[in-house]
Amino acid sequence: MSQTKISELRLDQVSREFGGVRALDGLDLTITGGEFVALLGPSGCGKSTALNCLAGLLPLTGGTITLDDRRIDTLQPEQRGFGMVFQNYALFPHMSVRSNIGFGLRMAKVPKGDARRRVEEALTLVQLTEHADKFPAQLSGGQQQRVAIARAIVLEPPLVLMDEPLSNLDAKLRLEMRTEIKRIHQTLGLTTIYVTHDQEEALSLADRLVLLRKGRVQQIGSPEHVYTEPANRFVAGFMGYRNELELPVGSVNEKTVVLDGLGAGGLTGVRRDDLGERAVAAIRPEDFTVGAGPNATEVTVEVVEYQGREQAIQARTDDGVDLHLRAGTRLAPGDRVTVSVPPERVLVFAAESPAAPEEVA
Amino acid sequence: MASSAVASPRIALRHRLAERGVDRTLLLLLPAVVFVVALFIYPFVYGLQLSFQPQPGSEAVNRYGSGPFADYRNFFADPYLRDTIWTTLKIGLPAALFNVLASVPIAYRMRGRFRGKRTITTILVVPITLGTVLTAEGLLAFMGPTGWFNRILMDVGIVDHPVRLTHNYWGVVFSLVITGFPFAFLLTLSYLTGIDPTLERAASTLGANWFQRFRHITLPLLAPGLAITFCLSFVLAFSVFPSAIMVGEPARQTRVISIAAFHAAFEQYDYSMASAIAMIMGAVELIVIGLVLGWRARLYRGATGGKG
Ligand SMILES: Nc1ncnc2c1ncn2[C@@H]1O[C@H](COP(=O)(O)OP(=O)(O)OP(=O)(O)O)[C@@H](O)[C@H]1O
Ligand SMILES: [Mg+2]
């Protein structure tokens, strides 16, 4: 139950099996004090499992967790003293907001006056002072989430774990609470692990992203690094490279590669893997431009979605390849246009299963 | 034009009624209402008015005249009758209390999902289906002076003479526990499984050990359910009749109130006295339930988890 800031949390080959199925497979991760790390991945990839293993709510089936040279993976959750924010809030329905937030202090036998002061501080931090005497059922979803956050951080735990804390909120509230979480993290500087399947949320909040897929780490890196240099086609797809075009490989150079198809001159892109016969080109919709340029190809507009300043367009090449792109100019279904994309924005990965996970600290 | 002018207030009326929950689906309640009236309200009202018409020539009329309260006065004046209330409470309250209290830790252990849960639940339900008579017979065979239980105790050398566990107070209490416990357990288990398990997980991340989690989270959320479970267990135990006769000492220690009513009705053929006893029995039950529910009303009562 140390309330001091940690300097390092190390996860070594942390694994968890459920009846032979590996929900979490050898997670290696070192977190330094004060860091905000996001665990990102699609549904069922083992994010909650990882978090529950850290909190002590699920025993590991392999690996170790070390906090400042102290092994903690065999401790009970109440001995680890990590704050946790649950997806469904898990507020105690029979206690007022104040008692909910003060529960941890009460368990830790913090003197009454001290506890009261800290609860008031936490209430101020999450801007709930005027709702302090209400019960959870009398609060809105966003307010309940604030209580859950306040309850988890009032003990100033060495590690705060958040399991998709915003996924039950509507879009507007989600943005507000995101800013709130960022502000709280900047104020208190608590080491935080944040689970989400929303890449935008992860990018905007975290100092470092951990991408998971089927229980295995795909890439670890800064938001910028993961965003611009995804390690494999899975990460690329998850980070907004919506166009994943599987094409035969034409000519391979050291850095670049030309794929056959898509326009007369083929599709030139950046080589990211060792390639076989076929490869996958990953391109973001916003990297396409309407008009002539490198990698030009002619397409027929099929679906147009209005999105304010831009339009999201689904178009089809003459070879029957579907492309997702964005256009500032107005287009209508049936229009024939030329689109192009700079070669440095085309990432070419091996078509086979994702390559060995890349690790960049 | 004319028809719509006529129709609209009609529609409005239907809407207003629907808003208060009055619509045609209410008719579906009719069979239930008929059933309740025929099987509960009618006998109750009949018994109530009968209890105010003492039977001429009965003991009550001889002593207290033929006024409407003669039977009631007779009941409370005669210690042999009056004391059946205490006798019954002395058996029913501890039995119900034990059933509820014992079911809490067992249900708490069994609230999760595990292999064999259904088997255990089934085994526990069997005594309910057996009924009191079979249970009483089994109890006699097992706990009687020559039953296995006493034979084992004597063989092991713990006692020299058979311990008297039947045909007295304890026999009835045992039988009420055997038939009442599974019932209390199943109710408690269903209340417990209704409590969101993430609440306890949240409490554990906040530093609460298992006892603190039980004490501060589970128990407060369970208490309203326990109050209901206690009331139902108590009502079951209070109307104890077969086991009070078969494994009790119906003349003295376990002369419960239902025996007094039976005695009045079918041995003295004084139906109005029997009705009066039945009414008193109901009143005592209502008082106990009222006390328990009054206490319960002061507790938290609402959703037991999840987001509100
Ligand atoms: N108690 C359990 N028993 C068996 N399998 C489980 C259990 N809990 C999780 N799993 C499995 O482990 C895998 C990872 O589950 P986990 O809950 O960690 O996913 P997640 O990444 O949190 O997904 P989501 O975004 O939907 O919450 C899933 O395939 C799931 O089916
Ligand atoms: Mg999850």
pLDDT (tens digit per residue) in A211-257:
999 999 999 999 999 999 999 889 999 888 999 988 888 888 888 88
* pLDDT band, very low/low/confident/very high, at B7 (cuts 50, 70, 90): low
Q: Does residue A136 lie in a domain region?
A: yes
Residues near B105 by Cβ (< 8 Å), separated by ≥ 6? none
Chain A residue nearest residue B213, CA to CA: A107
- From A14, A47, A198, mutation site for ligand 1 pocket: most ligand atoms within 8 A of C-beta: A47
Whether the CB-CB separation of A54 and A72 falls below 8 Å is answered with no
Please name the residue that has the structure tokens 């998709």. A164
Cα separation, A145 vs A147, whole angstroms = 5
A109 and A157 co-located in one domain: yes
Quote the minimal CA–CA distance from A343 to chain B in Å.
50
Q: Does residue A358 lie in a domain region?
A: no
Ligand 1 atom with the smallest distance to the CA of A47 is: 21
Ligand 1 atom with the smallest distance to the CA of A52 is: 18
Whether the CB-CB separation of A344 and A306 falls below 8 Å is answered with no
Mean pLDDT of A79-91: 92
Cα separation, B121 vs B110, whole angstroms = 10
Mean pLDDT of A334-346: 91
Polymer length of chain A: 361
| Contacts by A178-183, CB closer than 8 A, 24 or more apart | A178/A204, A178/A205, A180/A126, A180/A146, A180/A149, A181/A149, A181/A205
Quote the minimal CA–CA distance from A229 to chain B in Å.
37
* pLDDT band, very low/low/confident/very high, at A4 (cuts 50, 70, 90): low
Domain of residue A120, CATH code: 3.40.50.300
A93 and A183 co-located in one domain: yes
Cα separation, B91 vs B233, whole angstroms = 12
Chain A residue nearest residue B217, CA to CA: A92
Residue A248 near ligand 1, beta carbon < 6 Å: no
Q: Closest residue (by CA) to atom 16 of ligand 1?
A: A46
* H-run or E-run covering B95: helix B79-109
Q: Does residue A357 lie in a domain region?
A: no
A110 and A192 co-located in one domain: yes
- Contacts with A139 from chain B: Cβ below 8 Å: 308
Q: Per the confidence metrics, is the pTM higher than 0.95?
A: no
Q: How many CA atoms lie within 13 A of A310 on its CB side?
A: 11
A277 and A140 co-located in one domain: no
**pLDDT attached to residue B9:** 64
Cα separation, B104 vs B125, whole angstroms = 16
Taking the CA atoms of A182, A184, A186 and A192 in sequence, report the sign of the dihedral they define: negative
**pLDDT attached to residue B306:** 40
Interface of A with B in 113-142 (CB under 8 A): 135-139, 141
**pLDDT attached to residue B103:** 94
pLDDT (tens digit per residue) in A261-301:
777 778 888 888 888 788 899 999 999 999 888 888 989 99
pLDDT (tens digit per residue) in A23-66:
999 999 999 999 999 999 999 999 999 999 999 999 999 999 99
Whether the CB-CB separation of A49 and A16 falls below 8 Å is answered with yes
Which tokens is A109 given? 């036998």
The whole domain housing A122 covers 8-233
Q: B201 and A94: CB-CB below 8 Å?
A: no
ipTM over 0.85: no
A189 and A308 co-located in one domain: no
A130 and A23 co-located in one domain: yes
pLDDT (tens digit per residue) in B125-140:
787 788 778 888 888 8
Cα separation, A153 vs A176, whole angstroms = 19
Residues near A256 by Cβ (< 8 Å), separated by ≥ 6? A268, A269, A270, A271, A343
* pLDDT band, very low/low/confident/very high, at B37 (cuts 50, 70, 90): confident
All structural domains of chain B:
86-296 (1.10.3720.10)
**pLDDT attached to residue A172:** 85
Using the Cβ of A102 and the Cβ atoms of chain B, whether some distance falls under 8 Å is answered with no
Interior CA angle at A71 toward B199 and A17, to 5°? 60
Residue A48 near ligand 1, beta carbon < 6 Å: yes
Q: Does residue A95 lie in a domain region?
A: yes
A33 and A82 co-located in one domain: yes
Q: Does residue A338 lie in a domain region?
A: yes
Mean pLDDT of chain B: 86
Domain of residue A329, CATH code: 2.40.50.140
* pLDDT band, very low/low/confident/very high, at B307 (cuts 50, 70, 90): very low
* pLDDT band, very low/low/confident/very high, at A353 (cuts 50, 70, 90): low
From the CA of A19, the nearest ligand is: 1
**pLDDT attached to residue A254:** 81
Residue A43 near ligand 1, beta carbon < 6 Å: yes
Q: B302 and A139: CB-CB below 8 Å?
A: no
A342 and A214 co-located in one domain: no
A198 and A60 co-located in one domain: yes
Mean pLDDT of B5-25: 73
A224 and A251 co-located in one domain: no
Q: Does residue A342 lie in a domain region?
A: yes
pLDDT > 90: percent of chain A = 62
Q: Does residue A119 lie in a domain region?
A: yes
Looking at the 3D structure of chain A, how many domains does it have? Answer: 2
Domain stop point among A233, A255, A283: A233
A221 and A266 co-located in one domain: no
Q: Closest residue (by CA) to atom 28 of ligand 1?
A: A44
Please say if the pLDDT value at position A2 is more than 50: no
Q: B307 and A138: CB-CB below 8 Å?
A: no
Mean pLDDT of B245-270: 89
**pLDDT attached to residue A143:** 92
A218 and A294 co-located in one domain: no
Nearest to A161 by CA among A65, A229, A42, A233: A65
Cα separation, B234 vs B95, whole angstroms = 8
Q: Does residue A198 lie in a domain region?
A: yes
Domain stop point among A233, A258, A278: A233
